[in-house]
Amino acid sequence: MACGSQIACDPHLTLKRLITARFDGLLEPGIHDWIHVLGQSDFEWVLILSDMQRSIRKYHNPNMTISYDCAGPFIAGAHGLLYYDFIRQNKGYWSFPMKRGFNNKKYSTDTRSIKDAVLQDNIYESWVDSPITQRLKMNDFCHLGPTDLNRLGKIGTTSMDTFSYALLIAHNVWMHIETVQEANRQYAKGNFPAVMSTVTTRKRPVIFDRAYCSDIIDDIWATSDYGKAMKLIDHYSEYWMQFRGVRGNVGKFTKNSTTAFNHIFQEV
């Protein structure tokens, strides 16, 4: 089963689709063991999909795997952005730390390691090496000097050639994967974005039966009654709106995905 990001931007809708699939016999062990979510890997979604996978394995299909992908490392690389560290916290949300790289022709003869150079020159406040960058020097990235010709036979404004961008993107891909794994490791230790707790994300007093997202997901999958599962999902409708959807929207704007889905598809 594949889920597009239009569905997976709304936990309310995603849970309803998966519960419906369960009771329609579409998540059966040995037959339907894999769900792939397209274009989605915000940290909150990394953790909520891990919760869903854990609960599905516990109560229904022990073989279930939920995977996801995103183009973030490639898009960032195309814009010259590098992932330089793991998780960054901002207003209760987690994000991938990235900023513009060190594209400067003055580094074309610099043989310092990437890590030493970016920290010594205050380009980044911190730096985590990938298996790519730990083997490279600054002039491997900033390959073109002030008088070097680019592949068009001209002196350009950038110090990076095509292979530099390939290295940059390879670094970003490794950092993205490792950061997602670190997020799951932190979650297992009890550290998580504020949105994963119903207590800390409320802008006004709302009393929920469960304090944590993992407990809610567990309750939903624990029941063998379709109607009860759907009522549980609806009971937490205001909580689901705290999760960031498409283009970072939260609140009522995340429900646009439901509207779009119902406009495009007809359920039978």
* Whether residue 165 is found in the same domain as residue 92: yes
- What token pair was written down for 54? 């854990």
Model confidence at 177, pLDDT cuts 50, 70, 90, reads: very high
| E runs forming strands in 58-112 | 65-68, 81-83, 88-90, 93-95, 98-100
* Whether residue 98 is found in the same domain as residue 163: yes
Please name the residue that has the structure tokens 């369960």. Answer: 22
Q: Report residue 185 CA to chain centroid gap.
A: 14
Model confidence at 206, pLDDT cuts 50, 70, 90, reads: low
pLDDT in tens, 71-104: 999 999 988 899 999 988 877 788 899 998 889 9
CB 23 within 8 A of CB 220: no
* Whether residue 193 is found in the same domain as residue 160: no
Instruction: Give the pLDDT score at 4.
Output: 46
The radius of gyration of the chain's CA atoms, rounded to the nearest angstrom, is 22
Of 1-10, 36-45, 56-65, 196-205, give the lowest mean pLDDT range.
1-10
Give the pLDDT mean for 116-123: 95
- What token pair was written down for 72? 């973030």
Residue 216 has pLDDT above 50, yes or no: yes
* Whether residue 195 is found in the same domain as residue 238: yes
Model confidence at 10, pLDDT cuts 50, 70, 90, reads: confident
* Whether residue 30 is found in the same domain as residue 61: yes
Instruction: Give the pLDDT score at 187.
Output: 93
| End position of a domain, from candidates 139, 170, 201 | 170
Model confidence at 208, pLDDT cuts 50, 70, 90, reads: confident
- What token pair was written down for 234? 């609806």
d(CA 45, CA 259): 20
- What token pair was written down for 213? 């997202």
* Whether residue 166 is found in the same domain as residue 130: yes
In a domain, 180, yes or no: no
* Whether residue 55 is found in the same domain as residue 103: no
Model confidence at 202, pLDDT cuts 50, 70, 90, reads: low
In a domain, 175, yes or no: no
Of 2-11, 18-27, 152-161, 247-256, give the lowest mean pLDDT range.
247-256
CB 80 within 8 A of CB 104: no
Give the pLDDT mean for 135-157: 90
Instruction: Give the pLDDT score at 52.
Output: 96
* Whether residue 162 is found in the same domain as residue 193: no
Which strand (E) or helix (H) includes residue 34? strand 34-37
Expressed as residue numbers, the domain containing 51 is 2-71+188-264
Give the pLDDT mean for 63-73: 92
- What token pair was written down for 100? 């513009």
Instruction: Give the pLDDT score at 152.
Output: 84
* Whether residue 153 is found in the same domain as residue 202: no
Give the pLDDT mean for 150-154: 86
Number of domains comprising the chain = 2
In a domain, 64, yes or no: yes
Instruction: Give the pLDDT score at 1.
Output: 56
Model confidence at 40, pLDDT cuts 50, 70, 90, reads: confident
Instruction: Give the pLDDT score at 246.
Output: 44
In a domain, 62, yes or no: yes
In a domain, 209, yes or no: yes
* Whether residue 103 is found in the same domain as residue 163: yes
* Whether residue 40 is found in the same domain as residue 102: no
| E runs forming strands in the chain | 2-3, 34-37, 65-68, 81-83, 88-90, 93-95, 98-100
- What token pair was written down for 2? 């594949």
In a domain, 237, yes or no: yes
Percent of the residues in the chain that have a pLDDT greater than 70, as a whole number: 85
In a domain, 79, yes or no: no
Instruction: Give the pLDDT score at 238.
Output: 87
In a domain, 236, yes or no: yes
Q: What is the mean pLDDT of the chain?
A: 85
Model confidence at 42, pLDDT cuts 50, 70, 90, reads: confident
Model confidence at 245, pLDDT cuts 50, 70, 90, reads: low
Q: Angle at which helices 213-222 and 226-235 pack, to 10 degrees? A: 160
